Structure 1
Amino acid sequence: MGHNGADKIRVLVVDDSALMSRQITSILGEDSSIEVVGRAKDGLEALTMVKELQPDVVTMDVEMPRMNGITALKHIMVKHSVPTVMISALTKEGAKTTFDALKFGAIDVIAKPSRREDENLEAQKTDIISKVKRAAAIRTGRSRYIRMSASLARDEKISKGLPDSNTRFIAIGAGTGGYYGLLRIIPGLPAEFSDVLIAVILVASKYVEPFVSYLDAHSVIPVRTVSGPFIPERGACYVCSGDYLLGMENSHGALGVSAVQRTESEASINHFFNSLAETLSSRAIGVVMTGAGEDGAEGLASVRSAGGAAVVQDINNCMDPSMPIAALEKGTLAKVLPDYMMVDYLTKARAAEKN
């Protein structure tokens, strides 16, 4: 359940450093809509205080005595499902600990505030406050812990061959909060998945490779990084940075995907969705997920107009609902789903087609 917005957002701060705990409390206290209702010094104490105080949001450190933040997070997700934001020196973008935290249910991750010369403390304060407020607004599922499929080693993931006339192409566009959303979809796809999934996430290229490595290690289907043109295979997933423009190519009956560097004025999700619609029409499925801005709205409308399916993430389930809102405001007839229901929709829709 998300915070109703009528009362102050009640936050529990968890950190073994008294200095950092006070600093985070002070930062949150600068916003009149937030109230820190308690401070715990380790994960074990946090579990007791979550039960007693019933906060709207928890901020959680990772490395702590008695019980670390990741273990505490697992317990919170299973027992209470309270939106949790990890604030740690270990949770920087692209770090394994960051993806672990998201996998086990953290709404978002933030590096600890720092006064280093290259760090803007005011920007960090704004980031912490905004992410806590966003976390409070998100509607949680029954449990945010990701139940992942048992993974296979890379060399055990058998290719299903090139796409045929029955292969669907699922295109996902995501921005802010996209790591979280894709972690709820890609590792949940079953071994019998036989379509092609291509995701464009609006982050810098340098962060995509570690994210894909993490996804591949936790998935039964192959997950690959896109950094140039490629020939897609059935039953595989491809993840591309928004730094690239993808396009479908159909040469003598063989489908390929082009990839060129994006210029600043071009919208990478719209570009790919438009190309997908033009090339594949009814075999295309466009999915617009959490993110800032309007990228994907125009392209999703193109997919739908061409006879393909359109899916938009439920705005109450988004870290940033701007992209889904823009897609819906286009008047596109789309299926609206929270991230944790998308795997069922994509796989059951395919199963229904076969019966």
Structure 2
Amino acid sequence: MTPYKVVVVDDSAFMRKIFSDLIEKDPAFQVIDTAENGREAVEKITRLQPDVVTMDVEMPEMNGLEALKRIMAEHPLPVIMLSGINEEGMKETIIALESGAFDFIRKPSLTYSQHIDQVGDTLLEQLKAAMGARERRAAFRAEEEKRKQLKAESLEPLQSSFTVSKVSMVKAEPAKRQTASPKKTEPVKKQESRSQPKKEKAASMLFKPQRETAATQEISLPPPALPQIPVVAVNEHLESYNHIVAIGCSTGGPRALKAVLEKIPADLPAPVVIVQHMPPNFTKSLAQRLNSFSPLEVTEAEHGVVLKAGCAYIAPGGRHMRVAQGSAGRYSLILSDDEPQNGHKPSVDVLFESLLPLTLLKRHAVLMTGMGSDGARMMKRLYDAGVCSTFAESEETCIVYGMPRSAVELNCVSHVLPLQEIAAGVIHAVK
């Protein structure tokens, strides 16, 4: 098997050497060249046509973010960003993920060789995932093209038959016109016949039966009356809701979250709780970035915060997040330092599991792009318990079709939608 070609971009010659050595530990990859800034990287990528690129975020002349935008516009390919831990580097990393970067890793601490090895393992895992995702998407597109071609070929005889029939109808049309005799009373009758079904339809909608499951019957119960608490009217309104939306995503998630959250209105009568697989500190930058786009108020979650409608809460990197029902009928967030689940902390499964006992809430679970299967197992349990709706991003728009695919294979998804339709689907389900 021919190894995948890699270009390593970093302004430090020492870091270029470290990353090149880490990558070439796996014979599936070959570093064909390096670049010390974004401008040189764009030139070499154009000339060498690598399969994948590692790109430092902060560099002189042209930084990684500017180079990434050029690459995505001219020669799109998987790019893995190498980010420092300073605040500016984290912000630019989040923007890079929105702009098309496959994923990112933090640069290793040069003090500890063990940390360098861990970063190397993570980098190789992401390189393999990027190549796997690229090949899967190519196969998906080829299959779609094949289906379209077969469909077009199968329609050709029908189209020929339709053309012959249309010609015959045109020839016969004058005879129809001579025998036609429109009735003056017909419009009145049509109007009467239209009005009656509307009433019947309205009545049927009022008494539309739900799925006959015990879990659904529990969900359909009205929420308990909130006690009279002297709070500001707007807070009382925001805290009295009976829907909740939970979203899980991983690789490709920041771009997917932006696409969804910027389309959800501020008056959504539900809080939105989100797990995005991401290291500590980066989730704060992600929340701030998403808050600048979304009509919702987007924040990094804090322990004990009371959930409000029209707000979105992102689990902080390195901590699990759960939803719990507290006193006075309010719901709040519980953060914990428990062991990772499915290799992740925060974990989507942990969040989804916390929704299981909240039967007074109408729960909506969403899984979007990401590696692995985190969230699928608990989405299955929610689905079997009769939650209102479950959504999965379709393969055609996923950066990595892992987490959503796992849920689809468990037959626990009520709506499989492309990314651009998920927000509308959630709004419809809640409103």
User: Deviations for 1:175-225, whole angstroms, at most 9, x for unmatched residues?
Assistant: 566556545543554556554311134556655444323332443321123
Note if contact 1:200-1:269 (Cα within 8 Å) is conserved in structure 2: yes
In structure 2, what is the equivalent of residue 237 of structure 1?
312
3-state SS in 1 of match to 2:238:
coil
User: Deviations for 1:17-60, whole angstroms, at most 9, x for unmatched residues?
Assistant: 44433443333222211123333332223223333333221211
Amino acid at match of 1:170: V
Q: 1:160 to 1:32 in 2, by over 3 A?
A: farther
Q: Which of 358, 362, 366 lines up with 1:283 in the alignment? A: 362
3-state SS in 2 of match to 1:279:
coil
In structure 1, what is the equivalent of residue 331 of structure 2?
256
Number of equivalenced pairs: 327
Give the Cα separation in 1 of the matches to 2:341 and 2:13: 46
TM-score, normalised relative to structure 2: 0.62
Q: 1:15 to 1:260 in 2, by over 3 A?
A: closer
Give the Cα separation in 2 of the matches to 1:265 and 1:87: 24
Give the Cα separation in 1 of the matches to 2:375 and 2:292: 28
Note if contact 1:223-1:239 (Cα within 8 Å) is conserved in structure 2: yes
- Matched ranges for 1:14-53 at <5 A: 14-53=9-48
Note if contact 2:8-2:31 (Cα within 8 Å) is conserved in structure 1: yes
Give the Cα separation in 2 of the matches to 1:15 and 1:271: 37
3-state SS in 1 of match to 2:27:
coil
Q: Which of 421, 425, 431 lines up with 1:344 in the alignment? A: 421
Amino acid at match of 1:301: K
Note if contact 2:98-2:254 (Cα within 8 Å) is conserved in structure 1: no
Give the Cα separation in 2 of the matches to 1:204 and 1:123: 14
- Matched ranges for 1:145-224 at <5 A: 161-162=237-238, 168-174=243-249, 178-179=253-254, 181-187=256-262, 189-191=264-266, 193-201=268-276, 208-224=283-299
In structure 2, what is the equivalent of residue 130 of structure 1?
125
Note if contact 1:231-1:255 (Cα within 8 Å) is conserved in structure 2: yes
- 2:59 is aligned with 1:64: yes
Give the Cα separation in 2 of the matches to 1:43 and 1:125: 22
Note if contact 1:160-1:235 (Cα within 8 Å) is conserved in structure 2: no
Q: 1:190 to 1:82 in 2, by over 3 A?
A: farther
Q: 1:284 to 1:346 in 2, by over 3 A?
A: farther
Q: 1:37 to 1:264 in 2, by over 3 A?
A: closer
User: Cα RMSD between the aligned structures?
Assistant: 3.9
Q: Which of 296, 301, 309 lines up with 2:389 in the alignment? A: 309
Q: 1:35 to 1:131 in 2, by over 3 A?
A: same
Give the Cα separation in 1 of the matches to 2:114 and 2:93: 19
Q: 1:206 to 1:85 in 2, by over 3 A?
A: closer
Q: Shift in Å at residue 84 of structure 1? A: 0.7
In structure 2, what is the equivalent of residue 246 of structure 1?
322
Q: Shift in Å at residue 272 of structure 1? A: 3.8
User: Deviations for 1:98-135, whole angstroms, at most 9, x for unmatched residues?
Assistant: 22322322222223345313753222222222222222
Give the Cα separation in 2 of the matches to 1:66 and 1:94: 16
- 2:413 is aligned with 1:333: yes
Q: Shift in Å at residue 85 of structure 1? A: 0.8
Note if contact 2:97-2:252 (Cα within 8 Å) is conserved in structure 1: no
Q: 1:277 to 1:23 in 2, by over 3 A?
A: closer
The runs of at least 4 aligned residues of structure 1 exceeding 6 Å deviation read 91-94
User: Deviations for 1:79-110, whole angstroms, at most 9, x for unmatched residues?
Assistant: 33311111244579993232232232222222
Q: 1:266 to 1:51 in 2, by over 3 A?
A: closer
Q: Any gaps of 5 or more consecutive residues in structure 2? A: 138-233
Amino acid at match of 1:235: G
TM-score, normalised relative to structure 1: 0.73
In structure 2, what is the equivalent of residue 112 of structure 1?
107
Note if contact 1:10-1:34 (Cα within 8 Å) is conserved in structure 2: yes
Give the Cα separation in 1 of the matches to 2:309 and 2:406: 31
Amino acid at match of 1:131: Q
Give the Cα separation in 2 of the matches to 1:211 and 1:134: 22
- 2:70 is aligned with 1:75: yes
Note if contact 2:271-2:312 (Cα within 8 Å) is conserved in structure 1: yes
Find the structure with the greater CA-based Rg: 2
